Amino acid sequence: MSKIRLLGTLCTAVAFVAMAASCGDNKTESTGWEYARNMYDPIGFNPDQPNPNFKNGLTAQVPPEHTTPVGFVRFEYANTLEGYEKAGVELKNPLIRNAQHLEQGAKLFKAFCFPCHGPEGKGNGPITQDRTLTTSKGSRKLENFPPPPSYSTGNSSRGGAMKDLTDGKIYHTITYGVGLMGSHASQLSPEERWKVVMYVHELQKK
């Protein structure tokens, strides 16, 4: 047997054994043989593991009351109509209005709001328009998303004209969403939200 052949046979044998060893027996949840088991289990406690080091026996401890995580910005207005109205009166954009903030707001708007609200906030974003999806299996019409009201000429479902929406109302909307619009709190940091608010004011004039 040539050396190459021998090597080939050896590799095939090793691959076969590895495959067989990694298979379970289909009856239990056994994962078969595991190599270096201690590399799977972290030395630290998992968040859901019991932990004798704490009085309540839990690993995931609740932060002490009245504390705020570093870098976390609180939003003290409730996700209710009252919270929306209150934010609308009390909150003012903490960022100064300048070209740089507006430009960043426009970029964020394009990424997160444009698909529904459209380039000028008129409620004609691409997903509200007729679209056809063509794949190797053929093409089909996609469902249209109901168009949101225009920022400049529409009316808010919560009362008043869209062009009169204040800083706080827009910020509240981005944070919690409204109706068919979802919350954008996990996509946009508080500072980014304020930049978008600044840009929405520009579109209210269009």
- Angle, CA 49 vertex, CA 44 and CA 54 arms, to 5°: 80
Q: Residue 112 class from Cβ within 10 Å (0-12 exposed, 13-18 middle, 19+ buried)?
A: middle
The neighbour count for residue 125, using CB atoms within 10 Å, is: 18
Distance CA 104, CA 166 (A): 20
Give 58 or 149: the residue with its C-beta nearer to ligand HEC. Answer: 149
List residues near ligand HEC by CB under 6 A. 112-113, 115-117, 148, 156-158, 165, 169-170, 173-174, 178-181, 184, 196, 200
The neighbour count for residue 19, using CB atoms within 10 Å, is: 10
Give 59 or 156: the residue with its C-beta nearer to ligand HEC. Answer: 156
Distance CA 121, CA 196 (A): 12
Q: How far is the CB of 179 from ligand HEC (least distance, A)?
A: 2
Q: How far is the CB of 74 from ligand HEC (least distance, A)?
A: 20
Give 45 or 114: the residue with its C-beta nearer to ligand HEC. Answer: 114
Tokens of 190: 């508080």
Q: How far is the CB of 173 from ligand HEC (least distance, A)?
A: 4
Distance CA 203, CA 121 (A): 6
In the block, tokens 């932990």 appear at 51
Give 102 or 178: the residue with its C-beta nearer to ligand HEC. Answer: 178
Give 91 or 196: the residue with its C-beta nearer to ligand HEC. Answer: 196
Q: How far is the CB of 206 from ligand HEC (least distance, A)?
A: 14
Q: How far is the CB of 181 from ligand HEC (least distance, A)?
A: 3
**Residue 184 corresponds to which amino acid?**
H
Tokens of 115: 């698909």
Distance CA 158, CA 155 (A): 8
Q: How far is the CB of 137 from ligand HEC (least distance, A)?
A: 27
Residue nearest to ligand HEC (CB): 179
Distance CA 17, CA 15 (A): 6
